[in-house]
Amino acid sequence: FPRKLSPHTQLLVDSKNGCLMFIPMKHCTLGKALCGALTLFLAVTTHARADAVFQTPQVRAELMVEHASAAPGESLWVALALEAIPKWHTYWRIPGDSGLPTEVRWSLPEGITAGVIHWPLPERIAYGDLMNFGYHGKVLLLTELKIAPDYAGPANPSLDADATWLVCEELCIPEDGAFSLPIQIDANPTLQETAAGAAIAAARAALPQEAPWPVKFLRNGDTFTVSAQVGAESGQFTEAVFFPHVDGLIYNAASQDVR
């Protein structure tokens, strides 16, 4: 813990003070062992009772659902909303040179299954010569729940989940919360949008989409080139940023030359 560090980073464990220190080795010498240190305090987080909202000094976390009811054979979209206080951030599915992605573990009745997290577009977050990928402010992490056509469970089941996330500024704090949200499953449901329904629908519409035009990738030595043949649509673009979906593909902090 954490699961990934920069290859140029040393992990020191201070068992007396209960903290981890992430030290970028290219900036450090043995005589200055604390230079550039990012300290992760292993604070003991307090589990709240299972509820839809969990609050810490750094993050407000809430489990939300788009519709309060659904029929067997249908899907329900839910979101774990994380809202960090100013200057603090959480992490994307690939955190970058340091950090940890948010994880959600579901406890659902038989006949209801959860898909993977659908991640919104992240930010590039620089820390010294490191580059991380994550979110400032509020982010909705979406998951599609599928209800089996032959669902025979309770009519008013509870969606239970445990989530863990890492929130950072100069310090990084691991946090976790337990969530529970009731829904209704009915053969003839009333399609009523919840208070969070519009926000979930908007977040789903803003998810990254597959490119509608040819995209090519070329790796030549230390250069990784992405080419997109956008044609007449090129005038619509003012910015392009590449985020890797696997670790180690690029030097995350390298400048990206866009033409």
Residues in the chain: 259
**3 state SS of 187:** coil
Q: Return phi, psi of residue 79, to 5°.
A: -140, 140
d(CA 102, CA 9): 22
What is the structure's pLDDT at 211?
85
Q: Is the pLDDT of residue 11 over 80?
A: no
d(CA 186, CA 239): 46
Token pair for 232:
């007449």
The mean pLDDT value for 199-221 works out to 92
Question: How do residues 17-67 score in pLDDT, each as one tens digit?
Answer: 333 333 333 333 222 222 333 434 433 343 444 589 999 999 999 999 999
Q: Which residues contact 163 (CB under 8 A, 6 or more apart)?
A: 61, 80, 102, 103, 104, 105, 176, 177, 179
**3 state SS of 90:** strand
d(CA 159, CA 156): 10
Q: Is the pLDDT of residue 10 over 70?
A: no
What is the structure's pLDDT at 239?
82
What is the structure's pLDDT at 35?
30
